[in-house]
């Protein structure tokens, strides 16, 4: 075991955390123990943390996935946002009345899990 550098923030919960195709850990959003929400995004390459572009709103992500291109995709209240090297981009909306709970990339296809079943 090797002790890795601590992230530059305190404890948080309800955040998005995924590993992208390059092996980086991507972390975004969440809240602290006092209920303060965050819109920051970070990457960790195994040796150091790097601050990424902030999410457009303070958020508790519903689900997230890393893509083969190294992007982070977040679902929040039906909105789909992608963080790529160009910054955050709006990618669309989930169908109405769909409560996204999980997601996964299979090749270039995005598979979404919901409280109503898979979409």
Domain CATH number, residue 33? 2.40.10
Give the total number of structural domains in the chain: 1
Q: What pLDDT score was predicted for residue 119? A: 53
Q: Which of 99, 81, 102, 77 is nearest to 90 (CA)?
A: 81
Cα–Cα distances in angstroms (integers) from residue 102 to residues 1, 44, 48, 54, 87, in the given order = 30, 22, 28, 22, 23
Q: What pLDDT score was predicted for residue 91? A: 86
Residues of the chain with pLDDT under 70: 117-119
Cα–Cα distances in angstroms (integers) from residue 64 to residues 3, 4, 6, 56, 80, in the given order = 26, 24, 22, 15, 9
Measured CA to CA, the distance from residue 60 to residue 77 in angstroms comes to 9
Measured CA to CA, the distance from residue 54 to residue 41 in angstroms comes to 6
Q: What is the pLDDT of residues 81-100, one digit of tens each?
A: 888 888 888 888 877 777 78
Domain of residue 64: give its range: 16-118
Read off the DSSP letter of residue 35. Answer: -
| Number of Cβ atoms within 10 Å of the Cβ of 89 | 12
**pTM score of the predicted model:** 0.80
Query: Is position 9 within any domain?
Result: no
Q: What pLDDT score was predicted for residue 21? A: 84
Query: Is position 66 within any domain?
Result: yes
């Amino acid at each position: 075991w090797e002790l890795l550098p601590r992230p530059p923030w305190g404890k948080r919960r309800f955040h998005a955390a995924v590993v992208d195709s390059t092996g980086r850990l991507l972390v975004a959003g969440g809240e602290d123990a006092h209920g303060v929400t965050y819109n920051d995004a970070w990457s960790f390459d195994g040796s150091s943390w790097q601050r990424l572009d902030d999410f457009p709103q303070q958020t508790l992500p519903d689900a997230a996935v890393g893509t083969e291109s190294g992007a982070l995709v977040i679902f929040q209240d039906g909105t789909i946002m992608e963080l790529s090297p160009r910054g955050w981009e709006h990618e669309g909306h989930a169908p109405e009345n769909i409560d996204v709970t999980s997601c996964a990339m299979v090749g270039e296809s995005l598979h979404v899990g919901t409280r109503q079943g898979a979409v």
